[in-house]
């Protein structure tokens, strides 16, 4: 494909990713009630008074606060006349007089959704997918999967977390360690579940890197994650709430009082599992290593997630959607995992 053809292909994908993001974002805001959960109120996170663990998910509030000054008041006010889901989200986020911060937060979420399509495309290409149609449509399908994972529940940091996780996975697999560490910083500031990236790294690279190289790379990641978490824990040590809420009894009560919830939950786990299991031996070892975090997230769903809060699995969305794809029976391309730090 010549330069003109590549430019056309990239422009066409960008157009589809944008159009796909518009309708998905509209539905996403319609079903998630972002900004309405009082312990995680956007204004309270900006002011540093929200409850744990929400108060420590600081990236989006900090960015919104930092860049709010460049948003004209009149432009932010235009969201008063936006379509209903956007308007309701804006009203919920701007509580306390944070109109411009709310505008920036909504923009960050939308850009993250668009960015996820591009990041997933790069992730698939790094995994060895080279069919043009597959690289065009699979990332768009992955965007759609945001919706079934976010019915009823959503927070301003969810879509950015999907983007950062996908970027981290791609950079990790490529062995582009400097860029990976940089994005990991943003991911850790956004949500503490970024620790799952360290699990994938350990599972995949333990037998693929020289031991001293592995330990050095792992130590850097532990330092980044541990340092950021230690600072945030200290900053918000006096805030109400808890780092972890145990909700196993909530699941039991829900299933007892509303038995169909059992079928919904089983369907959520069973159907994707059957699709993921197809052609298992032909799937990239990196993705198979990623199943470890699915097991961890499943435990987290029942122990500290609310019934039907499937957004718990958003950190694994790029892996889940990639695992649903069965590649052609050909060798995968492997990255040079021995690049210098």
Domains of the chain, by residue range, sit at: 3-323
Q: pLDDT per residue over 80-99, tens digit each?
A: 889 999 999 999 999 989 99
Q: pLDDT per residue over 95-136, tens digit each?
A: 989 999 999 999 999 999 999 999 999 999 999 998 899 999
pLDDT the model gives residue 258? 83
Nearest to 318 by CA among 299, 290, 277: 290
Map residue 67 onto helix, strand or coil: helix
* Helices vs. strands in the chain: H and E counts, helices first: 16, 0
| Residue 332 Rama label (left phi>0; alpha psi -120 to 50; beta) | beta
pTM: 0.92
SS3 of 60-95: the string is HHHHHHHHHHHCCHHHHHHHHHCCHHHHHHHHHHCC
Burial class (CB in 10 A: 0-12, 13-18, 19+), 94: buried
Residue 202 has pLDDT above 90, yes or no: yes
pLDDT the model gives residue 7? 86
Give the whole-angstrom CA distance, residue 108 versus residue 157: 9
Give the whole-angstrom CA distance, residue 285 versus residue 168: 17
SS3 of 291-314: the string is HHHHHHHHHHHHHHCCCCCHHHHH
Q: pLDDT per residue over 219-256, tens digit each?
A: 999 999 999 999 999 999 999 998 888 888 888 888 88
Q: What percent of the chain has pLDDT over 70?
A: 95
Q: What is the length of the chain?
A: 341
Spatial contact of 221 and 201, defined as CB atoms under 8 Å apart: yes
Q: pLDDT per residue over 261-296, tens digit each?
A: 888 888 888 888 888 888 888 899 999 999 999 999
């Amino acid at each position: 494909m010549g330069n003109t053809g590549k430019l056309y292909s990239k422009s066409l994908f960008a157009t589809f990713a944008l159009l796909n993001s518009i309708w998905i974002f509209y539905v996403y805001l319609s079903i998630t009630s972002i900004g309405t959960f009082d312990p995680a109120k956007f204004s309270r996170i900006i002011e540093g008074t929200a409850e744990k663990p929400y108060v420590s998910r600081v990236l989006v509030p900090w960015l919104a606060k930092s860049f709010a000054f460049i948003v004209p008041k009149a432009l932010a006010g235009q969201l008063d006349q936006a379509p209903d889901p956007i308007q309701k989200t804006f009203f919920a986020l701007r509580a306390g007089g944070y109109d411009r911060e709310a505008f920036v937060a909504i923009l960050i979420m939308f850009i993250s959704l668009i960015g996820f399509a591009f990041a997933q495309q790069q992730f698939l290409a790094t995994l060895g997918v080279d069919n043009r149609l597959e690289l065009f449509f699979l990332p768009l399908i992955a965007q759609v999967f945001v919706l079934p994972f976010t019915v009823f529940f959503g927070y301003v940091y969810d879509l950015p977390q999907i983007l950062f996780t996908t970027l981290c996975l791609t950079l990790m697999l490529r062995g582009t360690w400097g860029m990976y560490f940089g994005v990991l910083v943003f991911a850790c500031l956004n949500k503490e579940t970024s620790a799952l990236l360290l699990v994938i790294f350990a599972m995949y690279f333990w037998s693929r890197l020289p031991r001293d190289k592995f330990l050095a790379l792992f130590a850097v990641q532990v330092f980044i994650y541990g340092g950021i978490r230690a600072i945030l824990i200290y900053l918000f040590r006096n805030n109400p709430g808890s780092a972890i809420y145990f909700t196993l009894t909530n699941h039991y009560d829900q299933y007892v009082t509303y038995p169909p919830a059992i079928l919904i939950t089983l369907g959520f786990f069973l159907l994707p599992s059957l699709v993921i299991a197809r052609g298992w031996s032909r799937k990239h070892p990196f993705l198979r290593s990623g199943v470890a975090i699915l097991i961890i997230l499943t435990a987290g769903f029942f122990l500290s997630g609310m019934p039907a809060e499937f957004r718990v699995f958003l950190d694994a969305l790029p892996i889940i959607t990639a695992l649903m794809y069965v590649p052609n029976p050909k060798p995968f391309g492997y990255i040079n995992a021995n690049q210098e730090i």
